[in-house]
Amino acid sequence: MAENITAEEMKTLLKSQQGELDAVLMYNALAETVKDEKDAETFRQLAKEEAHHASVFKVLSEKTLQPKRTKAILLPILYRILGKKILYPFIARGEYNAVKTYEPVAERFPEVESVRNDEQRHGDIVKSLL
């Protein structure tokens, strides 16, 4: 792991790790919910990549966190109410926000740069499902 991680940096790493863990459950829950099989397959793949991201942050933080189910419960409900045309751009925006959020993190921890690139691709992929 990187040496001399400050309390502030640790806070950022743990928040990122938690977000990635929660995204695994969210994408798997969406995969179970969505009507289009192509969307479901895509979300299963994204879930796998988010799990990899969580492991990158875990190596840095050296902490084990438990995933939270909030988004995994909420997003399938929103899918049913709003439909994919409204929900998917919202999901893509979340991925693009992570690209911005991770910019200073990747400067400090170069391992995060590939994670950051993945989030950009995730945003593009989710948008391409529309």
Binding site for Fe ion (CB under 5 A): 20, 50, 53
Dist CA 17 CA 62 (whole Å): 11
**Residue 95 C-beta: closest distance to Fe ion, Å:** 8
For the chain, the distance separating the N- and C-terminal CA atoms, rounded to the nearest angstrom, is: 39
Looking at the Cβ atoms of 57 and 79, the one nearer to Fe ion is 57
**Residue 4 C-beta: closest distance to Fe ion, Å:** 25
**Residue 119 C-beta: closest distance to Fe ion, Å:** 5
Looking at the Cβ atoms of 53 and 71, the one nearer to Fe ion is 53
Looking at the Cβ atoms of 87 and 112, the one nearer to Fe ion is 112
Q: Which residue is nearest to Fe ion (CB)?
A: 53
**Residue 43 C-beta: closest distance to Fe ion, Å:** 13
Looking at the Cβ atoms of 34 and 56, the one nearer to Fe ion is 56
Residue 97's closest CA among 23, 38, 29, 34? 23
